[in-house]
Structure 1
Amino acid sequence: MLLGLAVVAVPLLLALLGPLFAGDPGPRAVSFTLGGGHWLGTDFVGRDVWQQVLQGGRTVVLTALAATALAYLVALPVGLAAAVSHARWLEELLMRPLDVLLAVPSLLLILLVASVFSPGAAGLALLVALVNVPDAARIVRAAAAEAAARPAVEALRVQGESWWRVAVGYVGRSALRTLAADAGVRLTGVLYLVSTAAFLGVGVAPDAADWAVMVDRNRTGLFIQPWAVVVPALLIVALTTGTNLLFDAALDKKGRRP
């Protein structure tokens, strides 16, 4: 747990609080520069790298969190309904269209839609959520299916309990551990997808202060000014790795309780 917190704390704090301390950008340097008041030098257009780092994480983090939350907001009711329902036609109606969507590569779908609509950060969050819904719904259904088949569920139905009480109060709670494990992996995947999309210019402006954009725009000068690429790349890696470590530690601790 402490290792996960230590790894994720730096990128998370920089992402959330960095813009408050970024300050005035000041004049741009003529080219890649080290020193001269620039802690990490300047980027390919003369902007201060440290200031770009302070400003560049919020979009990545907030977009990833929003996309993950939106994905589960749709996947949870769909997966639970498919697991709890006795009607085979309803399960087919809910799950088969998601299987078709699951067959399309996520990044390809995002690029295709982005080529038509040119989404901003909010649009990117919606796209990433959309491509995560099918897999998340299948995980929810699989995790809830075993609990939904227990005699206790039938007893709750006989007692006249509401769908919410049966599906969420009992079945959903029984599947909570599996869903928590999936949430850690999914958030990591969403961070990767958001960063990749931003790297390819989807959802952010080409000159935006964004960690993924910084990696893309400064990679040609990697051996001249490595900090403009290495620092944002390491922050993204630390964010994803730390997130997984935190979820794994939390689940392991819960699993060892007597």
Structure 2
Amino acid sequence: MRARRGAGVVLLAVPLLLALLGPWLAGAPEPRGVSFAPVPPLGTDFVGRDVWEQVLLGGRSVVAVAGLATLLAYAAGVPLGMTAALVRRRWVDELLMRPLDLLLAIPSLLLLILLAALFSPGPAALVVIVALIGLPEVVRISRAAALEASGSTAMEALRLQGETWWRRAIGYTGRSMLTTLVADVGVRLVGALYLVASASFLGVGLPPDAGDWAVMVDRNRTGMFLQPWAVLVPALLIVALSVGLNLTFDRAVRR
């Protein structure tokens, strides 16, 4: 168990530290050289830029977009899920949940392409798109957790004691949902990372020459056999971030 916890911390800490401190460590940009040249330490990329410099610069956008999209999805999804569960009106539940069920029926990559056509390219648009894709699942999980808490004997006791609806909904139900939501955050963050990486392969959100780990994997794959570090290093950092998130949140739930 200790080894698993330590592995999770290391896997999460390395990409996060590179994302946070990388732009300050990168320094002034180096002159461009030959594409896919095997010069130390990690060679050059598809336009001749130093790969190590791009690794230092490329983590912040991945972490920021995935983190902000997940936060936005929860900020909108948890209140909607609680409302659908706690407002005892069937029409409210139907009004909120049926449109979201339709979104769930559409594959995430197809929905990514459809939503991208409605927004101007850019990091802010990518945050909104990824948040909208994750919103239906957040609402459903929040609703399920709230329904379980609202049907408990403790909630009935609070009703009999004359507690206000707000105290029952926010005070008791909100606290009861925390374990479920914390367990789900790790999954949502990994899903957001997957969508951000997929968006780069589809040319959605960020410019094709942006300093971004996901963009690096996409744009440098043509030179995989000439200069593999330009693909392997950013890909491994994204994988480490995803696995580290899952291990860390899994450990937090077990406590």
Q: TM-score under structure 1 normalisation?
A: 0.93
CA contact (8 A) 1:143 1:178 kept: yes
Aligned partner letter, 2:79: P
CA contact (8 A) 1:75 1:133 kept: yes
Aligned to 1:202: 204
Aligned to 1:16: 20
SS at match of 1:117: coil
Match of 1:181 among 161, 180, 183: 183
Aligned to 1:110: 112
Superposed, 1:54-203 pairs within 5 Å as: 54-203=56-205
C-alpha spacing 1:204/1:182, structure 2 compared with 1 (3 Å): same
Task: Return the alpha-carbon distance in structure 2 between the equivalents of residues 162 and 127 of structure 1.
Answer: 37
Aligned to 2:237: 235
Task: Return the alpha-carbon distance in structure 1 between the equivalents of residues 248 and 139 of structure 2.
Answer: 23
Aligned partner letter, 1:28: R
Q: CA deviation at 1:66?
A: 0.3
Q: CA deviation at 1:202?
A: 1.0
Matched, 1:43 2:45: yes
CA contact (8 A) 2:108 2:133 kept: yes
Task: Return the alpha-carbon distance in structure 1 between the equivalents of residues 76 and 228 of structure 2.
Answer: 41
Q: Once structures 1 and 2 are overlaid, which stretch shifts more, 172-181 or 62-71?
A: 172-181
Q: CA deviation at 1:225?
A: 0.2
SS at match of 2:57: helix
Deviations 1:101-130 (A, max 9, x none): 211222212212223433311111111111
Q: CA deviation at 1:157?
A: 3.9
Q: CA deviation at 1:77?
A: 0.6
Q: CA deviation at 1:234?
A: 0.2
Q: CA deviation at 1:160?
A: 4.8
CA contact (8 A) 1:68 1:186 kept: yes
Task: Return the alpha-carbon distance in structure 2 between the equivalents of residues 46 and 134 of structure 1.
Answer: 42
SS at match of 2:251: helix
Q: CA deviation at 1:158?
A: 5.0
Q: Once structures 1 and 2 are overlaid, which stretch shifts more, 106-115 or 10-19?
A: 106-115
Q: TM-score under structure 2 normalisation?
A: 0.94
Aligned to 1:249: 251
CA contact (8 A) 1:118 1:202 kept: no
Q: Once structures 1 and 2 are overlaid, which stretch shifts more, 47-56 or 8-17?
A: 8-17
Unaligned runs of at least 5 residues, structure 2: none
Task: Return the alpha-carbon distance in structure 1 between the equivalents of residues 35 and 74 of structure 2.
Answer: 45
CA contact (8 A) 1:68 1:187 kept: yes
CA contact (8 A) 2:183 2:249 kept: yes
CA contact (8 A) 2:34 2:44 kept: no
Deviations 1:158-211 (A, max 9, x none): 555444321121012112111111111111111111111122221100110011
Task: Return the alpha-carbon distance in structure 1 between the equivalents of residues 104 and 115 of structure 2.
Answer: 16
Match of 2:6 among 2, 6, 14: 2
Deviations 1:52-93 (A, max 9, x none): 000001000000000000001111111111111221111111
C-alpha spacing 1:142/1:201, structure 2 compared with 1 (3 Å): same
SS at match of 2:117: helix
Task: Return the alpha-carbon distance in structure 2 between the equivalents of residues 110 and 163 of structure 1.
Answer: 38
Matched, 1:32 2:51: no
